[in-house]
Chains A and B, each alone.
Chain A
Amino acid sequence: MNTNILVYAERLRSGIPGIVYELLGKARALAEAHGSDISVLLPGPATEEEVASFGAAHRVLIVEHDAATSPTPEGMLQSVHDAAALTQPGLLLMPATTLASDVAALFAADTGARLVTNCIDFDITHDGITACSRQYGGKILVDVLVDSTPAVLCVLAGAFQEQEGCVTGTPSPVKLPSPVLPDQRMRATRFIPPAPGDVDLAQMPVLLSVGRGIQNKENIGIVEELASKLNGAVCASRPVIDQGWLPLTRQIGRSGLMVKPRVYMAFGISGAPEHVEGMKDAGLIIAINTDRTAPIFNVAHYGVAADALDVVPALLEALENVVQHT
């Protein structure tokens, strides 16, 4: 079976959304098992750092045209066709975004390829490609078997681990011809960014989380100070939120946000299972709690049996010294 993979790296403005690296992470795992060849289609202009960040892939196909900066489905469709013709993928992986879903549908209609939308998981088996799709607002899950290639899959953000795909390397850059765009019936005229709300915790590489051990609302101030020094954000366990010390948007756990930052520091959090569920996949977990038997230490990579209110000022002081030395 053809196990070659083409990943469409959609971008609306600048930067590459996390879902692209999630797809690459999954592609890497498949490549290990099946020897798949991996290509990325990147709407340009592309910087060297961006190309290097696709170390999980063998090659990066860069296409530069107006549609890259002012994206419309019709505009991107030709480039996807070009990329598919060049790499002959058995699997075309798209983010399940509004735009990419349109591109995927148009591509599938043009080529007769099988399309599965809203995937939360997929795999290559000897029968074909299996995918699990969320339907009806998530009320049901559908397991699909695609027994012909190429399979076009639109994958929902959060399906896989982003960090698995964040591998730098030297994929070969390939310039694709700029497509001749037909008269587009649809044109993007302007980009309206979402209203600035609270910080997006899911995007923060460093999170400092406070629990009951922080004792009162005023003490959160020094944690905020530490967070700003570490380019992180402050979040909390439910008891802190329920006491109104921080807004609900900052709650981590089963009834709050699921986060996977590179570093998660837990200050005075006991580690109830409902909280741990939301942060256990963080890259590095550092827990500070006076209670040596607190369950948070079961998931922490590093633990400090001390009062968070002593540790935070000490960390601030240590950081001062680091800053002075550099």
Chain B
Amino acid sequence: MLATEHAVEQIWGVTLDRLYDSEEGRRILSCIQCGTCAGTCPHGEYMEYPARRIITMLKAGLIEDVFNSDSLVKCVNCYACQTKCPRNIRLTEILLPLVKEQSILRLAQMPAELQKAVENTYRYGNPMGESGRKRAQWTRTSPVPVRIFSEDPRPADALWFVESDLSFHPRGQDIARATARVFHAIGADVAILGNEERAAGDCGRLSWEPGLSEALIDYTMSILQKYRFNRIIVSDPHALDAFKYRYPMFGFDYPVESVLGFVAARLDVLAPQLTSPIHKTATYHDSCCLGRHNALFDEPRALLKAIPGLSLVEMAHNRENAVCCGGGGGGMWLDTYYKARNMERLSDRRIREAIATGADVLAIACPYEVSRFEDAVKVAGMDQRMEVRDIMELLVESLGGQ
């Protein structure tokens, strides 16, 4: 399921007309038309051409028809089809982004919200359109000091890539502060890029803007060379994907870990400090990039189980089968576009599963999910009954006032 270094080399530079020149691309020819991809796709019922039909059309030389439909605009890069494909065709990593790029290019009009996010990312280095000079402002309200490389360039064990949501979104900043506090508790030697950081240009979100993605990667690579560190730890799962699968094509070779995995590996140091019990029931939503794409299923659960008093229940769809919140692949900025086509918000669908568990807390580990699910619990009329908390926030609550 996970890409190997070799495979990454293989998909570099793959385009639709050179698809069959690579081993990974040729794998598409082994499709047995079983329909697993279309059936597991959370938006499959809204697509004229789900993945199975796209492959058929491609083989029949009718791919232009697919481009001219908006099927792939509805792909939220959730990796469900790729994970479950019995022929191991790398749909979400290779084929779908290429088709998606063409489909978006052919839309009569770029969906306004998405356009603004891309424009902002190009101009300001973040989709919110906030000034890059405010990127490190959240650190001033951090309960513990956060080292910024430009102010203190000594080598660090880890470079913490904070990303835009944690830097600018008010709820994201809560998570950033909580993460800093957890790092402090485990004695991690981390530093951030601060105002020198710009969006990582993750491929899932920006595959339909490859030029922008490359510009951001070039920029980040040039900044990374200024400082010395052993590894990169990443808060945003989409940025994790970018560093793991995209950056190596540009000569990047640092070890990359998710913040979640990094903290879980140091649970022996953290667990004894988790002394304030949380007497609640939580259910964990597996983010697509952390879970399906990078197989981090046990780490978040281990962290939650380490919190005294907190009991963990599972939703009907969990781990590999978790249902996407709808934020990936640009979905974060396609809500209006989807709604205009009478599509149900995936976060509304998912929240019903969370509510059905009877949990008081929906635990998450991806910054997109905070705003998506906090809205969804309101839509479900359950905002008094269920709270949405990042695992880092729950850990800090359990650390108490130490």
Contacts and interface: CB of A to CB of B under 8 A. Distances in A.
Interface of A: 137-139, 141, 211-212, 238-239, 242-243, 248, 254-256, 272-274, 295
Contacts of B333: 255
Interface of B: 108-110, 112-113, 115, 119, 123, 169-171, 333, 335-336, 339-340, 345, 348, 371, 374-375, 378-379, 381, 383
10 contacts: A138-B119, A139-B115, A212-B383, A239-B375, A242-B345, A242-B375, A243-B381, A248-B336, A255-B333, A272-B375
B336 A242 contact: no
Which of B115, B336, B375 has most chain A Cβ within 10 Å?
A: B375
B185 to A, nearest CB: 26
Contacts of A256: 336
Given A138-B119, A273-B171, 13 more contacts: A137-B108, A138-B110, A212-B381, A239-B379, A242-B348, A243-B381, A248-B339, A254-B113, A255-B335, A255-B336, A272-B375, A273-B169, A274-B375
A138 B115 contact: yes
B208 to A, nearest CB: 11
A255 B345 CA distance: 13
Contacts of A274: 371, 375
Contacts of A139: 110, 115
Contacts of A243: 379, 381
Nearest to A256: B336
Contacts of A211: 378
Contacts of A141: 119, 123
A13 to B, nearest CB: 27
B113 A255 contact: yes
Given A242-B348, A248-B340, A273 B379 contact: no
A238 B170 CA distance: 18
A137 B110 contact: yes
Nearest to B111: A255
Contacts of A138: 110, 112, 115, 119
A137 B113 contact: no
Contact of B375 (A137, A238, A248, A295): A238
B378 A212 contact: yes
The 4 A-B pairs with the shortest beta carbon distances in the complex, nearest first, are A239-B378, A255-B335, A242-B379, A255-B336
Nearest to B334: A255
A238 B171 CA distance: 17
Nearest to A244: B379
Nearest to B337: A255
Contacts of A272: 371, 374-375
Nearest to B340: A248
B325 to A, nearest CB: 14
A243 B109 CA distance: 28
A139 B107 CA distance: 11
A243 B335 CA distance: 15
B163 to A, nearest CB: 16
Which of A139, A211, A295 has most chain B Cβ within 10 Å?
A: A139
Contacts of A295: 170
Nearest to A248: B339
A188 to B, nearest CB: 28
Nearest to A216: B381
A138 B113 CA distance: 11
Given A212-B378, A273-B171, A137 B371 contact: no
Contacts of A212: 378, 381, 383
A274 B383 CA distance: 17
Contacts of A137: 108-110
A157 to B, nearest CB: 14
Contacts of B381: 212, 243
Given A138-B110, A139-B115, A242-B345, A273 B378 contact: no
B106 to A, nearest CB: 12
Contacts of B335: 255
Nearest to B344: A242
Given A141-B119, A239-B378, A255-B335, A273 B110 contact: no
Contacts of B123: 141
Contacts of B378: 211-212, 239
A17 B379 CA distance: 37
A262 B340 CA distance: 29
A179 to B, nearest CB: 38
A272 B373 CA distance: 12
Nearest to A138: B115
Nearest to A295: B170
Contacts of A238: 375, 379
Contacts of B375: 238-239, 242, 272, 274
Contacts of B112: 138
Nearest to B118: A139
A211 B379 CA distance: 10
A274 B348 CA distance: 17
B374 to A, nearest CB: 7
A88 B112 CA distance: 38
Nearest to B105: A139
Contacts of B345: 242
A295 B371 CA distance: 13
Nearest to B129: A277
A208 B340 CA distance: 24
Contacts of B171: 273
A272 B339 CA distance: 19
A296 to B, nearest CB: 12
A212 B380 CA distance: 10
A243 B340 CA distance: 15
Contacts of A273: 169-171, 371
Which of A138, A211, A248 has most chain B Cβ within 10 Å?
A: A138
Contacts of A239: 375, 378-379
B164 to A, nearest CB: 12
A239 B335 CA distance: 13
A318 to B, nearest CB: 30
A272 B345 CA distance: 17
Contacts of A254: 113
A212 B123 CA distance: 34
A243 B170 CA distance: 25
Contacts of B119: 138, 141
A239 B378 CA distance: 6
A315 B116 CA distance: 38
B124 to A, nearest CB: 12
Nearest to A242: B379
